[in-house]
């Protein structure tokens, strides 16, 4: 019997997201963080492990800090890009125009990749370090500069290889995040081989095109199995691997069902689709019954730039 359960209801999530949307529109986005906190608390409270629900204790104040820092960072990138564009137009007949254009594109790309990494780190920091399972706390100890640098370096390599580096890029990011995540006294490790993921992606893209999209069901299943089966959980000397029991038909029903729900409701059914996906992951990610996290003293979360983005 699976020990992980997700009990949220699509209609309840629709009401929460609709209220978040309306209040955000009326207040020009000022109440978006408040609505987001309400949504997160609902989703976490409906997730249970060993029949014990999770709880989310993040505050609107902390979310607002990260929210403001994120938009200031985006503004910085926009100012750089706009300023460079104006200079290029002004010096269009000058030798410096091409140099300024190149530097502008390079600078915007560097900033965008680095800020994406820092934002991802901040999101994980804020959400994980404010989540509890009973009295057991989740903990994320990744550093903004480290994850920002990973996004920057590997993002450039991915662009230079026209996307062929994607499996290595994804696995390095996923491995870093998982290796810095703790669930009480449980630690995690990812051991996936990027070469195997590259073969899965290559076959997936080729056969999906040749079968007019039909193979995408098997493609999704293989990617899902690859990531789940390569996660190792450790508790002291005890070590186990996650497994999934999802079959092709179940993956087909989930993907096609979600697509039809979103399509025929003109996007309104996204909340139902999200609930179906999260329930599918919970129902088919089998965690051994003997792995019970125990409370331990948490490491202090990093309070660096953008660490509070949710």
Quick: pLDDT tens for 2-14: 578 899 999 999 9
pTM, full prediction: 0.83
Q: What is the reported pLDDT for 92? A: 63
In a domain, 11, yes or no: yes
In a domain, 309, yes or no: no
In a domain, 185, yes or no: yes
- Residue 185 near residue 236 (C-beta atoms within 8 A): yes
Q: Could you read off the pLDDT of 106-135 as tens digits, one per residue?
A: 888 888 899 999 999 999 999 999 999 988
- What proportion of the chain, given as a percentage, has pLDDT over 70? 90
Q: Could you read off the pLDDT of 249-290 as tens digits, one per residue?
A: 888 888 889 999 999 988 888 999 999 999 998 888 877 766
In a domain, 299, yes or no: no
pLDDT tier for residue 304 given thresholds of 50, 70 and 90: very low
The CA–CA distances, whole Å, from 21 to 39, 66, 103, 309 equal 11, 20, 38, 19
pLDDT tier for residue 296 given thresholds of 50, 70 and 90: low
pLDDT at 310 over 60: no
C-alpha–C-alpha distance, residues 25 and 32, integer Å: 9
- The chain-wide mean pLDDT, for the chain, equals 86
Give the residue numbers spanning the domain of 223.
4-286
pLDDT at 308 over 60: no
Mean pLDDT of 74-101: 73
Q: Could you read off the pLDDT of 165-213 as tens digits, one per residue?
A: 999 999 999 999 999 999 988 999 999 999 999 999 999 999 999 998 8
In a domain, 94, yes or no: yes
Half-sphere exposure of 207 (CA within 13 A, CB side): 13
Cα-Cα-Cα-Cα torsion 264, 268, 271, 274, nearest 10 degrees, comes to: 40
In a domain, 304, yes or no: no
Strands 181-183 and 47-49: unpaired
- What proportion of the chain, given as a percentage, has pLDDT over 90? 47
In a domain, 99, yes or no: yes
Tally of structural domains, the chain: 1
In 10 A of CB 264, how many CB atoms?
Answer: 9
The torsion angles phi and psi of 55, rounded to 5 degrees, stand at: -135, 145
The CA–CA distances, whole Å, from 120 to 30, 148, 208, 223 equal 22, 8, 30, 21
Task: Report the chain's C-alpha Rg in angstroms.
Answer: 22
Strands 47-49 and 52-56: antiparallel
Mean pLDDT of 305-310: 49
In a domain, 183, yes or no: yes
């Amino acid at each position: 019997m699976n020990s992980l359960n997700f009990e949220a209801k699509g209609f309840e999530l629709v009401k929460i997201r609709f209220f978040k949307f309306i209040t955000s529109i009326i207040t020009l986005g000022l109440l978006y963080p408040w609505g987001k906190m309400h949504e997160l608390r609902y989703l976490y409270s409906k997730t249970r492990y060993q029949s014990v629900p999770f709880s989310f204790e993040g505050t609107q104040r902390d979310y607002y800090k990260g929210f403001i820092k994120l938009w200031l960072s985006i503004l910085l990138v926009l100012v750089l890009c706009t300023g460079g564009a104006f200079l290029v137009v002004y010096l269009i007949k000058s030798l410096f125009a091409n140099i300024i254009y190149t530097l502008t594109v390079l600078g915007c790309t560097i900033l965008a990749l680095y800020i994406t990494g820092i934002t991802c780190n901040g999101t994980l920091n804020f959400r994980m370090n404010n989540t509890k399972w009973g009295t057991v706390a989740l903990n994320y100890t990744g550093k903004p500069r480290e994850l920002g640098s990973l996004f920057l370096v590997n993002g450039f390599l991915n662009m230079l290889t026209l996307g062929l580096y994607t499996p290595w890029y994804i696995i390095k990011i996923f491995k870093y995040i998982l290796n810095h995540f703790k669930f009480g006294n449980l630690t995690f490790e990812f051991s996936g081989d990027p070469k195997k993921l590259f073969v899965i992606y290559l076959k997936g893209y080729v056969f999906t095109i040749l079968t007019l999209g039909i193979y995408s069901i098997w493609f999704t299943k293989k990617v899902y199995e690859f990531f789940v089966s390569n996660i190792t959980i450790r508790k002291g000397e005890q070590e186990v691997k996650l497994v999934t029991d999802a079959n092709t038909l179940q993956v087909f029903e989930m993907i096609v069902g979600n697509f039809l729900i979103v399509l025929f409701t003109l996007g309104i059914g996204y909340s139902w689709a999200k609930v179906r996906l999260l329930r599918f992951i919970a129902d088919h990610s089998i965690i051994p019954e003997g792995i019970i996290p125990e409370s331990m003293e948490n490491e202090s979360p990093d309070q660096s730039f953008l660490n509070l983005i949710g």
